[in-house]
Amino acid sequence: MLATFSQPNERPRPERVAPLAKLPVFWALEGKTVIVAGGTDGAAWKAELLAACGALVHVYCPEDELSEVMASLIDAHSPADEPISPLEGEMSGRTDGGSPTRTGGIVCHPHHWHADIFKNASLALADCETDEEAESFHTAARAAGVPVNVIDKPAFCQFQFGSIVNRSPVIVSISTDGAAPILAQAIRRRIETLLPQALKGWAELARDIRERVNERLAPGPQRRTFWERFVDHTFASNQSPEEGVERVLLTEAESLSEAPATGRVTLVGAGPGDAELLTLKAVRALQSADVILFDDLVSSEVLELARREAKRMLVGKRGGRESCKQDDINAMMVNFAKAGKRVVRLKSGDPMIFGRAGEEIARLQAEGIPVDVVPGITAASAMASALGISLTHRDHAQSVRFVTGHSRHGDLPANTNWASLADPTVTTVFYMGGRTAEKISEALGSHGMPPSTPAVIVTSVTRPNERRWSGTLDDLAEAVAIIGVDEPILIGIGNAFAARAKAPVEKPLPHSEQQEIRVA
């Protein structure tokens, strides 16, 4: 046998919050004073953005140096009164958290900036031609205790502007930490297509009724249920809230307040590992969960999509390792649900394929607990996609079977119909068959399957450490012995894999450590 392979890389589980290049902060500027030095188009864009936030923007630039864009902007946003000083601008806002007595605008001071202009300012920005001027502005602002940004000069910036999607009061800001502004713009365009313009009206309605909803519903499941239904209304269509919807929503809140707190359980398929293969419904379930009971095979990337406040509990079940008992998992789901929690039972692959979903559903229904299921992409489907193989190619196979490779006692299932599985025109995928691969090969061979029948092995499918082998039934046991059984393993057998068995050895994909292993 000739085989080449690489050892899979161990990936540590990420922290609850992965490292951030910058802290995203949304800063209230209504009625506050902001300094802008320079009259360029770049400075004009920043001044317009700041004025849109309600800030009183003081632009310092000689009139003959103002760009046409900045000059017209100053004309359009000039306060109704005569120009006021930065000190007056700071005092014009209320300090009790209410609305300011004056709205934002742009005031031009027809001279260059100087060190005395920073008093009482909330932010300071400049568009400087040279690093020397940028350093001077940066130093003066810092000395006055004012956060500073010099446009296109990251070394002199304490904060940065993101690319903005505006559905105010919903605001999305995207930052690449200055590394790829074009990428940020591309991301913004994609988000623009996802968020309907009507979102603005729904967000304003949420702001208007929030306090009244909070008066009716205590913090916890009932209040979250209300807002999740509100979100359903929001994205049901691209229509602004209709007249009378406020009354309907408050009536709905009243009815929730009178209902007893009852939890529910959702069995969610996490797929084979790649978080991008999750369904939208699965992501919504993760983001509304109070408690997540997850399998050992669920990837950390999938868990990253869950609600931050959710309690996460590993209830892993792996062959050959100490596992949480199924009865204990059932009891945890029941207890959390009876306490009014929204429980997500997060399973790798699809919950309804070798996931013991039937046992869990039966127990929950016996306890009167609502339960629903969100399907996931099962590992065999992911394997077929990864290999570029149709499991039911009409030239090779007319049916496909998913078969467990071990019983609850760790051996081959006693009631398997090996004579039926030995037909090479039937595509068979064995789950969890690593430790019984030799017995699988022997059982199929003893029931008439030719030793030359094509076979494949894929471990950790869709993950960065994915590995593949292709060969024949006769070499299957030896291949598993080389690959090892520490990672989740799939075995595919049948004529549908013939093209794969004849394929040349592939190089690892650029984004992973996966390696093709072939028997010669």
Q: What is the mean pLDDT of residues 491-517?
A: 60
Instruction: Give residue-wise pLDDT tens across range 323-355.
Output: 688 999 999 999 999 988 889 999 999 999 998
DSSP secondary structure string for all residues of 194-217:
HS-TTHHHHHHHHHHHHHHHHHHS
Phi first, then psi, for residue 148 (nearest 5°) are: -130, 145
Structural domain 199-258, CATH architecture: Orthogonal Bundle (1.10)
Q: What mean pLDDT, rounded, does the chain reach? A: 85
Pick the more confident residue, 453 or 412.
453
DSSP per residue, 220-269 = THHHHHHHHHHHHHHHHSS-PPPTTHHHHHHHHHHHHHHS----EEEEEE
Looking at domain 264-377, its CATH superfamily turns out to be: Tetrapyrrole methylase, N-terminal domain (3.40.1010.10)
Q: Where in the chain is the domain with CATH 3.30.950.10?
A: 380-518
CATH 3.40.50.720 domain residues, the chain: 33-161
Percent of the chain whose pLDDT exceeds 90: 57
Task: Give the tokens for residue 219.
Answer: 């913090």
* Residue in 429, 475, 434 with CA at minimum distance from that of residue 452: 475
Per residue in 5-40, pLDDT (tens digit) is: 334 344 444 456 678 888 999 999 999 999 999 999
| Residues making up the chain, counted from first to last | 520
Give pLDDT tens digits for 42-58. 999 999 999 999 999 99
Closest CA to 451 of 376, 371, 519, 400: 519
Strands (E) in 256-358, as ranges, are 264-269, 291-294, 311-314, 342-347
Going by C-alpha positions, the residue among 476, 470, 423 that lies closest to residue 450 is 423
- pLDDT category at 208 given cuts 50, 70, 90 is very high
DSSP SS3 for 399: strand
Given a cut of 60, is residue 80 above it in pLDDT? no
Which residues make up the CATH 3.40.1010.10 domain(s) of the chain?
Answer: 264-377
Query: In sequence order, which residues have a C-beta less than 8 Å from that of residue 444 and are 6 or more positions away?
Result: 418, 421, 422, 453, 473, 493
The pLDDT-based confidence of 516 (bands split at 50, 70, 90) is low
Which residue in the list 32, 46, 317, 347 is annotated as catalytic? 317
More confident site: 179 or 61 = 61
Location of each CATH 1.10.8 domain in the chain: 199-258
The listed CATH number (3.10.180.10, 3.50.50.60, 1.10.10.10, 3.40.50.720) that belongs to domain 33-161: 3.40.50.720
The domain covering 380-518 belongs, at the CATH homologous superfamily level, to Tetrapyrrole methylase, C-terminal domain (3.30.950.10)
Per-residue pLDDT tens for 219-240?
A: 877 888 888 889 878 877 678 8
Among residues 127, 274, 295, 350, which one is catalytic?
295
pLDDT tens-digit readout, 273-289:
999 999 988 998 998 89
Q: Is 295 in the active site? A: yes
pTM: predicted TM-score of the whole model, two decimal places: 0.63
Count other Cβ atoms within 10 Å, centred on residue 465. Answer: 18
Residue 127 bears catalytic tag: no
Q: How far apart, in whole angstroms, are the C-alpha atoms of residue 326 and residue 67? A: 71
Q: Is the pLDDT of residue 244 over 80?
A: yes
For residue 480, pLDDT over 60 is answered with yes
pLDDT in the model for residue 102? 42
The pLDDT of residue 383 is 94
Rounded CA-CA distance 108/114 in Å is 14
Task: Give me the mean pLDDT over the 354-361 stretch.
Answer: 91
Which pLDDT value is given to residue 99?
A: 36
Q: What is the average per-residue pLDDT within 129-140?
A: 96
pLDDT at position 22: 87
Please, which pLDDT band fits residue 400 given cuts at 50, 70 and 90? very high
- The string of pLDDT tens digits covering residues 159-173 is 999 889 999 999 999
State the pLDDT confidence band at 212, using cuts at 50, 70 and 90. Answer: very high
